[in-house]
Chains A and B, each alone.
Chain A
Amino acid sequence: MAELATGPTKSGRRASCVKREADSRSASWRALARGQASDERQGTRDDSLSFGLYVHVPVCRSKCRYCGFYSLPADRVDAPRLVDGLLLELDRCERTGFCTAYIGGGSPSSLPVNDLLRLVQQVRRRCLPAAEFTVECNPGQVDAGFLEGLRTAGVNRLSFGAQSFLARELELLGRGHSVEQIGAAVTAARRAGFENVGLDLIFAIPGSSPADWQASLDAAVALNIEHVSAYSLSFEPGTVFEAWRRAGRLAAVDEELDRAMYEWTIDRLERAGLRQYEISNFARPGFECRHNLGYWANRPYVGIGPAAASCLTLDIREGGRRITNDADIERYLAAVESGRPAPAQTQVVSPDDAVCETAVLNLRRRGGIDLAEFRRRTGLDPMRIFADPIERYRAMGLMEVTDRAVRLAGRALPVADTILCDFSALD
């Protein structure tokens, strides 16, 4: 899948690029709200004060059996029209100077290359020079020309939906690409000049043995990539997998094995120099996905496209909004083509909720909550407002506290949600 970055939500909705942001106290925020990045920051990789941009392409060549996300088959979508629509929505957005951009899906690589390049070029124009720019690709849908085109247009990071290195598993998942195509895609990416390539992998696939998963991990490591995202398979409502499971045709992997697979993942990738920096993400130092780091830092971002989400919380102390575009492509296109904003759901985030979101998201990072950063962003001391759970879990050896950070202990990672829930609301 679609290693979605600002992922659309299940039900699928979409966000418009909102013109007017909440008034912010600080001048730099106001400047940012207008999309003006200050000169000295233009050439840096400090993303702390800038927006990310996510573009959602809700199209796939065929539907994978485990995927619960909103996407339509490529042959039922008028690709040029869709891209025109995305560009219209992007045009309505006054903001420029994005520090990261991410085109995800769906499978952006299932678009005709010209259309994808048109999108890439417009996105690139709105990014800072040093921006990280990722496009998600299905390894079965790329060739040298395609990848060179992306590279030339300014894309500097690729994320391949590899999922597994076992032909049987790829077949079961319904991925529509082969094991060989994964290696070939990575090689082609290198040739095209990509120095930052990542793979998505799925473990705990029904029927998967410990050896199966270890084989996939070894194969991924052997490709010498910079980044791996590894997710435990979940049965999502409405998917073929879920139906099969209910009918008894598939069985979820035993919880114990699921956990063991997760622990091997961490161990194997760390040994290969891919450091775990988030619950499901691993990278060579310096190659952490800056775009996704923005989510876990609870920084603002703009989402374009059906089912894309935007986070317009500029100053956590004031709260903000999350806006999620509706999923339906037709209604989306009809709106943007007639000059209207994309239909969307808005959720107001109270200052308290924004603080909690920040804590929960931060704690997904291996580095956890950076105390100074948290204080600066929220005006609050995490050691005080979360004193109770921090103390409790520290005593249980599930959290680690230093004078600079609070983070989950390694053994807490497999059960992170039972801990994070205590940070989801202030008492």
Chain B
Amino acid sequence: MKIQNIRNFSIVAHIDHGKSTLADRMLELTGTITERQAKDQILDSMDIERERGITIKASAVTMEYEHDGEHYMLNLIDTPGHVDFGYEVSRALAACEGALLVVDATQGIQAQTLANAYLATEAGAEILGVINKVDLPAAQPDLVAEEIEHVLGIRRNECFHISAKSGLGVKDLLDAVCMLLPPPADRSDEPARALIFDSQYDDYRGVICYVRVFSGTLKTRQRIRLMGTGYTYQVTELGKFRPDMRPVDELGCGEVGYVIANIRDLANVRIGDTITDDVHPAPDALKGYKPPMQMVFSDFYPGNNTEYPRLRAAFDKLSLNDASFTFVPQNSQALGFGFRCGFLGLLHMEIIQERLERENDIDVVQTAPTVSYEILLRDGTVKRIDAPSELPDRTMVAEIREPFVKLEIITANDTIGGIMKLAEARRCKLLKTDYLSPTRVMMVYKAPLAEIVYDFYDLIKGISHGYATMDYEFTGFEAEDLVKIDILVNGTPVEALSLIVHRSNAEPRGRKLITKLRKSIPRHQFEIPLQVAIGGKIIARETIKAYRKDVTAKLYGGDVTRKMKLLKKQKEGKKRMKNIGAVEIPQEAFMSVLDTSE
């Protein structure tokens, strides 16, 4: 394949604007999938993606296309749109020369439209503006085109008007990809360098690396070296996604595909690393990725302590498929051995937790997510903590700094009032307001991450009847008047339930928390006091009454089968609980920290 006829591009957009559906149409038009194979959002291959109807992982696919009498190879990467998965998008973009920025014609520019447009520009990708869903009666393609021109500087007459659903305009878009997006730079004579932009683990074949070749050529049976980690392997299979894996003999410069080299040890492969030839290595590695910034942290413990090694193996495997979460061993006196995990956001956390349980059949107990804090100690040293329990003794702390973000909210101007009120209650400072169009506004705030990362999005969605969208970006740590709330269950402080909050808010938060706990911790054989302490002083108390009666009166011969079943079920229910100071604390209790509703 002539390198001039290769096009590598990502499809990026706000969530649900139609990326995966556009990919479907392109796969059909290019004959990559037959009508028989076709199904909606075919690239969303994980169960969890199909159930939730969203893309979580970027996926690559190679298509062949005739344009103007020439044969083209198009490598498309479909990306997720949710705010948590910006990192997936930036990795995909690093493997491409171009990007299709899709905007829903009924919704216009949304928070992740902007965020992804910035990412594409940063990655140096050529952007094509695509206005989708023009088939819908509520579509306002001209207005949206105007907005795109006004906000993103893409000329309105250069936007493509399509319906990814019906296929309208998609062929023109493919032609435009061939004509308007640049080919990869020709570095076929240089030593081989391929960027690992993703990977996956297969029980039989080991690690499968998803790569983009930037220079030279990869061949089967070639000896390769991973430049970052230094490990060497022999390539056993090269191939392309079409969209299922098809072996090829070589991957040329500019191409996208996969490499299998019998890599068994997960730790040896790093996303963002460069593959080179072991005999004629490139002098330096490709620019990798800057590591993603984990926004929320939560501890995961196996429901049953003996499952720790299985949990570790499961995390190893998952991390290969998702480079953006971190996990470090954690030993809690109360909860046993587990892991402190870092995530890009709450959806990300939820997904990892669900995949863990589903793909590995492990019950986990998870502590409430928290942001990380910077602690300035009296001796002048600065310490980073990512769990409230790690906060050093009060007497040693000079100040507590919390993470701040630049928060962008896009909404309709008649919902501004409600959103501003909420933002104010959450200690957000309005920096500026921009009108995207006469009826749509972008508000930019400086916000404490802890105030917006959990339920804020849901709340503004509620206030704006589903209209508002938001995106945020970390800006730095700043000192605030923060205090730690401790929760004592049955007289024992439960570290996993403590939280750090602004002083002005501490007492009501603490009270609310134990009210929630009282409902989520089941009754026991004894009375359980719940207490809230701030700086060692008890400020509130609740009591969980003791279980008074739970016994089967009659158990004779004919009752045994049924009773054993019920008892087993009762026992099963205890599995997702952790025993702290003789109290069984269920999973939901740890999460009640998050629930700030009344």
* Chain A residues with a Cβ under 8 A of chain B: 4-10, 52, 54, 231-232, 234, 255-256, 258-259, 262, 279-280, 292, 295-296, 301, 303, 307-309, 311, 322, 324, 347, 353, 356-357, 360-361, 364, 392, 395-396, 398, 411-425, 427
Give min CB distance, B115 to chain A, whole Å. Answer: 47
Partner of B567, one of A4, A255, A262, A424: A424
Most buried by A among B524, B526, B561, B562: B561
What is the CA–CA distance of A345 and B23 in the complex, to the nearest angstrom?
A: 55
B189 part of interface (Cβ distance < 8 Å): no
B571 at the interface (CB under 8 A from A): yes
Whether the pair A322, B560 counts as a contact (CB closer than 8 A) is: yes
- Nearest 6 Cβ contacts at the A-B interface: A6-B557, A424-B567, A421-B570, A231-B553, A309-B558, A7-B558
Contact sample, A vs B, 21 pairs, CB 8 Å cutoff = A7-B558, A7-B559, A8-B558, A9-B559, A231-B553, A232-B551, A232-B553, A256-B548, A279-B555, A347-B561, A357-B560, A360-B567, A392-B579, A415-B525, A417-B550, A417-B551, A418-B550, A420-B567, A421-B567, A421-B570, A423-B567
Residues of B within 8 A of A420 (CB): 567
Q: In the complex, A234→B556 CA distance in Å? A: 16
B525 touches A412 (CB 8 A): yes
Give A311's nearest chain B residue, CB to CB. B557
List chain B residues, Cβ under 8 A from A8: 558
Within 8 A of A (CB), among B526-568: 526, 547-564, 567-568
| Given A5-B556, A7-B554, A311-B560, A425-B568 contact (CB < 8 Å) | yes
With an 8 A cutoff between CB atoms, is B188 at the interface?
no
Q: Which of B525, B526, B556, B562 contacts A10 (CB under 8 A)?
A: B562
Chain B residue with the shortest CB-CB distance to A289: B556
**Range for the number of chain B residues in contact with chain A:** 20 to 34
Q: Which of B524, B551, B567 has most chain A Cβ within 10 Å?
A: B551
A345 to chain B, nearest CB (A): 9
A202 to chain B: closest residue by CB: B553
A425 CB contacts on chain B under 8 angstroms: 568, 571
With A10-B562, A259-B548, A418-B550 as contacts: A398 and B525 at CB distance below 8 Å: yes
Kindly list chain A residues whose C-beta atoms are within 8 Å of the C-beta of B554: 4, 7, 231, 280
| Cβ-based interface call for B304 (8 A) | yes
Chain B, Cβ-Cβ closest to A356: B564
Among A6, A303, A357, which residue has its beta carbon within 8 angstroms of that of B564? A357
**With A10-B562, A347-B561, A396-B582 as given contacts, are A4 and B549 in contact (CB-CB < 8 Å)?**
no
Whole-angstrom distance between the Cβ of B322 and the nearest chain A Cβ:
31
**How far is the CB of B509 from the nearest CB of chain A, in Å?**
32
Q: Are A9 and B558 in contact (CB under 8 A)?
A: yes
Q: Are A5 and B550 in contact (CB under 8 A)?
A: no
> B71 interface residue, CB < 8 Å from A?
no
Closest to A302 in B: B557
A6 touches B556 (CB 8 A): yes
CB pair A415 B558 closer than 8 Å: no
Q: Which of A308, A347, A424 contacts B571 (CB 8 A)?
A: A424
Interface presence of B310 (CB below 8 A): no
Contact surface of B with A, Cβ cutoff 8 Å: 304, 306, 524-526, 547-564, 567-568, 570-571, 574, 579, 582
- Residues of A close to B553: CB separation below 8 A: 231-232, 234, 279-280
Interface centre among A392, A398, A418, A419 (most CB of B within 10 A): A418
Q: How far is the CA of A347 from the CA of B558 in the complex (A)?
A: 12
- CB of A258 within 8 A of CB of B568, answer no
When the two chains form the complex, which single residue of B549, B561, B563 contacts A262, counting CB atoms closer than 8 Å?
Answer: B549
Contact assessment for B549 and A232 in the assembled complex, using a CB-CB cutoff below 8 Å: yes
- Of all chain B residues, the one with the shortest Cβ separation from A299 is B557
Q: How far is the CA of A301 from the CA of B559 in the complex (A)?
A: 13
Which of B526, B550, B574 gathers most chain A CB within 10 Å? Answer: B550
**Is the Cβ of B571 less than 8 Å from the Cβ of A4?**
no
Contacts of B551 in A (CB 8 A): 232, 279, 413-417
Report the minimum CB–CB distance from A141 to chain B (whole Å): 22
- Could you say which residues of chain B place their CB within 8 Å of the CB of A232? 549, 551, 553
Task: Report chain B residues within 8 Å CB of A280.
Answer: 553-554
Q: Smallest distance from the beta carbon of A255 to chain B beta carbons, Å? A: 4
Residues of A within 8 A of B547 (CB): 415, 418
B571 touches A6 (CB 8 A): no
Residue of A6, A54, A414, A421 near B574 (CB, 8 A) is A421
Whether A414 contacts B548 in the complex (CB less than 8 A), given A280-B553, A361-B555, A396-B525, comes out as: yes
A318 and B290 CA atoms in complex are apart in Å by 61
- Name the CB-closest residue of B to A12: B558
**A362 → B minimal CB distance (Å):** 12
Q: A322 CA to B559 CA in the complex, in Å?
A: 11
**Beta-carbon contact of A417 and B567 below 8 Å:** yes
A398 closest partner in B (C-beta): B525
Cα(A347)–Cα(B559), bound, Å: 13
Complex CA gap A301/B561 in Å reads: 14
Tell me the bound Cα distance from A5 to B559 in angstroms.
10
For residue B570, which residues in chain A have a CB less than 8 angstroms away from its CB? 417-418, 421, 424
Shortest beta-carbon distance from B361 to chain A in Å? 15
Report whether A364 and B579 are in contact in the complex, using a CB–CB cutoff of 8 Å: no
Q: How far is the CA of A351 from the CA of B556 in the complex (A)?
A: 20
* Complexed CA–CA distance, A420 and B526 (Å): 17
* B549 and A259 within 8 A (CB): yes
Shortest distance between the CB of A420 and any CB in chain B (Å): 6
Q: Beyond A259-B549, A295-B557: 11 further Cβ-contacts under 8 Å?
A: A4-B554, A10-B562, A231-B553, A232-B549, A309-B557, A356-B564, A412-B525, A416-B551, A417-B550, A417-B567, A424-B571
**B574 contacts which chain A residues (CB < 8 A)?**
421-422
CB neighbours of A4 from chain B (8 A): 554, 556, 558
Report the separation of the CA atoms of residues A88 and B522 in the bound assembly, to the nearest whole angstrom: 51
Residues of B within 8 A of A427 (CB): 304, 306
- The residue of chain A having its C-beta at the shortest distance from the C-beta of B547 within the complex is A415
The distance in angstroms between the C-alpha atoms of A232 and B552, with both chains bound, is 9
CB distance from A355 to the nearest CB of B (A): 12
Which of A52, A259, A307, A414 has a CB less than 8 Å from the CB of B558?
A307
Shortest Cβ distance from A297 into chain B, in angstroms? 11
A311–B561 Cα distance when bound, in Å, is 10
Measured in the bound complex, the distance between the Cα atoms of B582 and A279 in whole Å is: 24
Provide the residues of chain B in CB contact with A279, threshold 8 Å: 551-553, 555
Whether the Cβ atoms of A7 and B549 lie closer than 8 Å is: no
B556 contact set on A, CB distance < 8 A: 4-7, 292, 295
CA distance A190 to B548 in the complex (A): 39
Return the chain A residue nearest B556 by Cβ: A7
A292 nearest in chain B by CB position: B556
User: Is there contact, CB below 8 Å, between A418 and B525?
Assistant: yes
Q: Are A258 and B560 in contact (CB under 8 A)?
A: no
